[in-house]
Amino acid sequence: MDSEMNEQVTATDSKPGAAVEQGSLPPLCVDLDGTLIKSDLLIESFLRFVKLNPLHFFWVLVWLYRGKAHLKYKLAAQNWLSPELIPYNQEVVTYLRAQKKACPERAIILCTASNERLARQVAEYVGVFDEVIASNEHDNIMGSAKAKILTDRFGHGGFDYIGNDWNDWKVWSNARQVLVATQSDRFLRQTQQRFTIDRIFREQAPSPREYLKALRVHQWTKNALLFIPFLLEQRFDDVGGWITLFFCFISFSLLASATYIWNDLLDLDSDRVNIIKKKRAFASGRIPLLTGIKMMIGLVAISVLIFMFLPPAFAGVALLYTVITLAYSFKLKKVPILDVCLLASLYTLRIIAGMLAVSAAWSFWLLAFSMFFFLSLALAKRVSELKNLEKRELNQASGRGYVTSDLDLLQMLGVVSGFVSVLVVALYINSDKVASMYAVKEVLWLLCPVLLFWVGRIWMVTSRGKMHEDPIVFAIRDRVSLQTILICGVIVAAAMSANFL
């Protein structure tokens, strides 16, 4: 029975004709997920499959019902891995190559709970493995199952093993040498209490700053748009309104962070080929994918809890925001022009949410300005991405519907949209409503040249290829942009000044 099981789960070979022989050193067995690579192939396969169609999630549940091995087999059959894009643990890879060079006759075996189809692709790409032992349709090779296979084949203490997980304790109990790849101080400490560790491949744990970057906390500045309708109505003494908007801001920000994480998880491959986005926490493997999923679920749960104490209309807009964001992440980001219109609408939805949260009056002028202004910034984002592709002599971004020949058209649309937003401001200043709200409405005309300058400067920076791929990030860090915001604030305050006398 044992020999039949071994025949089922052992897949050879990334090097045809290679055999595992006992040389001067015992076989070196290496785990895959979290050890050789800084990712998890099961989660990556799941994300790729669900990205094709959200309804695929129900197929995942059906396959999981038949067992984890069956789920891995089915997901592997639906995915064709790009092993060159996966983030590898370079210290482990370097060690394996050094071992192969120093002792060519020593067998190096990839022994993993991932499906054999995906494991072979990784083994072939790395190029140092003599054999692959991996899960198949019926057997999930992890923990005690992996320990039994290796011990039956090589004997107790007849192999060395590199692992990273609590399940690997069962394998290390039968290994000659314990080699640990980890970024967790807690796991390393507890493993050292149980085993004598022969080598540690130490990955630095993610810092709090990296987690904040994964949450895109800097993007929370966008949610300040919630306050705009409230401020334009000059309800500065409405304490209840301030408190409501504060909790709206927190809940919306947490929800937005959850959608950013989900978008990053779905975009792993396209981010990894982007010169800037490949450094993101999940694409680079700095933060485990499973941790990202847990973070996303936790953020949604907290956000929903806060929504229960806020106006239902606000929660409804937040739900609409989430639906549009998910649709954008799954499919619509690939549709040219529609994608930037959706990005602009997400900004405008924040303003609408702010109106509904405090029962502010609807403003045609504000919504029109928002759509044109943020459409201009969304187009700047796409132009910046295409400029970076052009520098690298590439034609099309992965996962996008644009090519570099679209640059002239997108720049024209972006500039026009930006200047139309300033025209909307000019028309608003001339409206009757403004005359009743501002003591010296003529001062507001100074906003127009200031905004014209800023829009023109943004597009000059973009056309020169110096724009960050996210204009909001650029504006936060750009001294001139911050000064422009301050000047606009002073102008508005001056126009209102008589109302406070």
282 and 250 belong to one structural domain: yes
Would 462 be classed as within a structural domain?
A: yes
192 and 43 belong to one structural domain: yes
96 and 239 belong to one structural domain: no
**Distance between start and end Cα atoms, the chain:** 92
Dist CA 471 CA 312 (whole Å): 32
> The domain spanning residue 312 has which CATH number?
1.10.357.140
347 and 420 belong to one structural domain: no
121 and 218 belong to one structural domain: no
Residue 171 main-chain phi, psi, to 5 deg:
-75, -45
Of 181, 202, 223, the residue at which a domain comes to its end is 202
195 and 216 belong to one structural domain: no
114 and 244 belong to one structural domain: no
Of 153, 172, 202, the residue at which a domain comes to its end is 202
Tens of pLDDT, residue by residue over 214-261, are 999 988 988 999 999 998 888 888 999 999 999 999 999 999 999 999
- Specify the number of domains making up the chain: 3
Question: Amino acid identity of 320?
Answer: L
Would 371 be classed as within a structural domain?
A: no
Select from 61, 53, 229, 70 the least CA-distant residue to 135.
Answer: 70
Confidence class of residue 21 from pLDDT cuts 50, 70 and 90? very low
Q: Quickly count helices (H) and strands (E) in the chain.
A: 22, 7
Mean pLDDT value across residues 468-475: 78
Would 369 be classed as within a structural domain?
A: no
214 and 167 belong to one structural domain: no
| Percent of the chain with pLDDT strictly greater than 70 | 94
Tens of pLDDT, residue by residue over 350-392, are 999 999 999 988 888 899 999 999 999 999 999 988 888 888 7
Dist CA 122 CA 258 (whole Å): 30
This prediction has a pTM of 0.83
Residue 481 main-chain phi, psi, to 5 deg:
-65, -40
Q: What is the DSSP string of 289-341?
A: HHHHHHHHHHHHHHHHHHHTTS-HHHHHHHHHHHHHHHHHHHTGGGSTTHHHH
* Domain residue limits at 293: 206-362
Cα angle 272, 278, 282 (rounded to 5 degrees) comes to 90
58 and 174 belong to one structural domain: yes
Would 179 be classed as within a structural domain?
A: yes
pLDDT score of 193 = 94
Would 372 be classed as within a structural domain?
A: no
Of 202, 236, 259, the residue at which a domain comes to its end is 202
Would 370 be classed as within a structural domain?
A: no
198 and 225 belong to one structural domain: no
Would 448 be classed as within a structural domain?
A: yes
188 and 318 belong to one structural domain: no
Confidence class of residue 23 from pLDDT cuts 50, 70 and 90? very low
271 and 285 belong to one structural domain: yes
Would 368 be classed as within a structural domain?
A: no
Which of 8-22, 134-148, 401-415 has the weakest average pLDDT? Answer: 8-22
Question: Amino acid identity of 109?
Answer: I
